[in-house]
């Protein structure tokens, strides 16, 4: 992580100035313990370079069945502040608590879009091996099964909702700076009915004194993903690189640009300097690559794509949408993508 901007340690006595934006706790909330942590706060900077994507067979490290679960779905992303007194050893207890919480909320009349005569069973489990560094906490996978109240003998409980909390290559300085009682799993991926997501989030917030917010993927993150995936082409055929923009015209104009994988890789290869021993990609290269594509487009249509918003990036390896939805289609690049998203989630943390 040499490439990262140096983290500045703030002296304990001084009032900590927060970075320009924080989407988590607001200043007016009553101060929690986290707020008063003495002198160990770091300022996480947006990195200007990162490692190029490397294909790795992660099923050697992680249970293939668990990997299959992560790859199958489209996930809606949220970021979560550090969990207070979360223990990986108490997952069974959490399963019971969350089941009870959902049933209780349902009885209170909270709309859960699964038939009225159903019971819920929650399972928490760990996905061992997804963590990359000592500081990363192991990923926690949550599934909610539904079962009709009067089930026949052969009825198998159906998975109605799943989600996972993860941290991959989280900024070590940030993670080390957390007080001992906190576990940081900043990235929360969910799939299932919105009502259940809301319930799980509110349970997490109450149980671990944390805060969950949806994560928006800005164009910088999407650009990084476009480049990281394009760089994979010599190893794994990406088949296409598709970029989607929306222009704020009236009515709005959607522009999708689908590029041939070989051509787009050649463009990237001509920009990217591969001389360094640790293959890193710099933000400047990413910007030149995107400008290269946008200017080629401009020469044809004379439309300024910068006037609009980059909404979606997709290749056959996966896709990422501005609204925080991602899909990872190829398990070999899970660590690369999760590293980027973990960082994106940590950047949203209040400091």
Give the torsion sign (CA, 213, 218, 220, 221): positive
As given in the structure block, the two tokens for residue 253 are: 């104009």
Contact string 37-76 vs another protein (x = CB under 8 A):
----------------------------------------
Among 68, 218, 258, 273, binds another protein (CB under 8 A): 258
Q: How far is the CB of 245 from another protein (least distance, A)?
A: 10
Q: 220 or 246, CB closer to another protein?
A: 246
Q: 140 or 267, CB closer to another protein?
A: 267
As given in the structure block, the two tokens for residue 100 are: 């009870």
The answer to the question of residue 129 lying near another protein (CB under 8 A) is: no
User: By C-alpha distance, which of 121, 160, 163, 113 is closest to 142?
Assistant: 163
SS3 assignment, position 256: strand
Could you tell me which stretch among 87-95, 97-105, 276-284, 293-301 binds another protein (CB under 8 A)? 293-301
User: By C-alpha distance, which of 171, 164, 130 is closest to 347?
Assistant: 171
The answer to the question of residue 313 lying near another protein (CB under 8 A) is: no
Could you tell me which stretch among 118-126, 176-184, 243-251, 327-335 binds another protein (CB under 8 A)? 243-251
The answer to the question of residue 239 lying near another protein (CB under 8 A) is: no
Residue 324's contacts (CB-CB under 8 Å, 6 or more residues apart) are: 76, 77, 78, 214, 215, 216, 217
The answer to the question of residue 293 lying near another protein (CB under 8 A) is: yes
Among 57, 90, 249, 273, binds another protein (CB under 8 A): 249
Residues from 260 through 289 that contact another protein (CB under 8 A): 260, 263, 266-267, 270-271
The answer to the question of residue 254 lying near another protein (CB under 8 A) is: yes
Would you say 79 and 167 are in contact if contact means Cβ atoms under 8 Å apart?
no
Q: 20 or 252, CB closer to another protein?
A: 252
Q: How far is the CB of 212 from another protein (least distance, A)?
A: 33
Give the torsion sign (CA, 189, 195, 196, 200): positive
Q: How far is the CB of 271 from another protein (least distance, A)?
A: 7
DSSP state of 107: H
User: By C-alpha distance, which of 184, 280, 180, 281 is closest to 223?
Assistant: 281
Exposed (0-12), middle (13-18) or buried (19+): which is 76, by Cβ within 10 Å?
Answer: buried
Would you say 139 and 166 are in contact if contact means Cβ atoms under 8 Å apart?
yes
Q: How far is the CB of 311 from another protein (least distance, A)?
A: 12
Q: 62 or 293, CB closer to another protein?
A: 293
User: Residues interacting with another protein, by CB under 8 A?
Assistant: 247-260, 263, 266-267, 270-271, 291-297, 299-304, 307-308
């Amino acid at each position: 992580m040499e490439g990262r901007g140096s983290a500045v340690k703030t002296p304990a006595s001084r009032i900590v100035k927060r970075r320009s934006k924080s989407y988590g706790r607001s200043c007016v909330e009553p101060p929690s313990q986290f707020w008063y942590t003495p002198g160990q706060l770091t300022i996480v900077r947006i990195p200007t370079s990162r490692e190029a994507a490397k294909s790795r067979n992660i099923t050697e490290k992680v249970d293939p069945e668990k990997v299959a679960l992560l790859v199958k779905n489209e996930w809606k992303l949220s970021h979560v502040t550090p969990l207070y007194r979360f223990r990986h050893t108490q997952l069974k207890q959490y399963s019971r608590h969350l089941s009870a919480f959902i049933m209780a909320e349902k009885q209170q009349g909270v709309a859960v879009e699964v038939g009225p005569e159903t019971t819920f069973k929650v399972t928490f489990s760990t996905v061992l091996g997804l963590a990359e560094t000592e500081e990363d906490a192991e990923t926690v996978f949550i599934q909610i099964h539904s079962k009709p109240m009067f089930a026949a003998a052969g009825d198998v409980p159906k998975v109605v909702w799943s989600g996972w909390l993860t941290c991959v290559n989280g900024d070590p300085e940030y993670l080390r700076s957390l007080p001992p009682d906190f576990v940081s799993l900043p990235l929360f991926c969910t799939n299932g009915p919105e009502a259940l997501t809301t319930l799980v989030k509110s349970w997490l917030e109450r149980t671990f004194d944390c805060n969950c917010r949806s994560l928006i993927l800005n164009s910088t993150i999407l650009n990084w993903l476009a480049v990281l995936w394009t760089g994979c082409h010599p190893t794994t055929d990406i088949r296409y690189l598709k970029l989607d923009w929306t222009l704020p015209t009236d009515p709005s104009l959607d522009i999708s640009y689908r590029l041939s994988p070989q051509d787009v890789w050649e463009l990237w290869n001509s920009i990217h300097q591969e001389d360094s021993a640790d293959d890193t990609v710099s933000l400047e290269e990413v910007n030149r690559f995107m400008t290269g594509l946008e200017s080629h487009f401009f020469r044809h249509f004379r439309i300024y794509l910068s006037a609009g918003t980059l909404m979606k990036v997709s290749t056959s390896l996966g896709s990422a949408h501005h609204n925080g939805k991602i899909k990872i289609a190829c398990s070999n690049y899970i660590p690369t993508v999760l590293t980027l998203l973990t960082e994106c989630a940590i950047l949203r943390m209040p400091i």
